[in-house]
Amino acid sequence: MRVVCLSDTHITRTGRRRLPDSALGELAGADAVIHAGDVIHPEVLEDLARFGPVHAVLGNNDAELVGVLPPTLVVALGGVRIGVVHDAGARSGREGRLGRRFPDADLVVFGHSHIPWNAAGRPSQWLLNPGSPTDKRSQPHLTLAVVEVGDGRLRSTRIVDLD
C-alpha cells in the first residue's frame, strides 16, 4: 500500500498557492493520503480525496476546520499503526515525546516546521515530517513523503523533492 503524506499546504480559497504538478503526480499513485495539518481551506481535503481515503489532523492555522478534524489521529494502514499530529514540538526530546503520545504507533507523521524529517524515533518507531509541497520557507525544496506499508510492516519511507 502506497501512502502519500503531506503537511502545511496552506492553500486558501482565494490564494495563488496550489499543489505543484509533481505533487499531483505522486498523489495519482496513492492508495491513501495523510495530511498532518495546516490544510487551511476545507476544499483541499475534498480535492485530496480524489486520490484515495484522506486521514488528516488539525493544524494551528486550520480555523475553518476546528471541530471537523481531530488534533491527533491513529490509523491502521496495511497493518501498520500510524500516529498523526501537526506540531511535534521542539527537536530536543521529540522522540520521547512522540513515543509517549503514540506508544503503539509504528510510524508518526507530523508537520508544522516545514522541515522534512525521516528518521528513527524510539525503538520500533519511525518519525516522518513530509515538509511542505507549497511553502518551503528556508528549506531547499518543496517536499512531500511517500510511505510503503503492507503485511503489518513499514516497508519504506522517503522524502520526495518536488521542484
Domain boundaries, the chain: 2-161
Retrieve residue 5's grid coordinates. Answer: 503524506
- 111 in Cβ contact with 89 (< 8 Å): no
161 C-beta neighbours (distance < 10 Å), count? 14
Helix H or strand E segment including 5: strand 2-6
Higher pLDDT, 13 or 30: 30
Report the length, in residues, of the chain: 163
**pLDDT tens digit string along 24-56?**
999 999 999 999 999 999 999 999 999 999 999
Confidence of residue 2 (pLDDT cuts 50, 70, 90): very high
Radius of gyration of the chain (CA): 14
The confidence score (pLDDT) of residue 15 equals 73
The confidence score (pLDDT) of residue 13 equals 81
Return the closest-CA partner of residue 98 out of 109, 69, 33. 109
pTM equals: 0.97
Retrieve residue 138's grid coordinates. Answer: 528556508
Into which CATH architecture does domain 2-161 fall? Answer: 4-Layer Sandwich (3.60)
Q: For 132-144, what is the mean pLDDT?
A: 96
| Mean predicted lDDT score pLDDT of the chain | 96
Retrieve residue 36's grid coordinates. Answer: 498532518
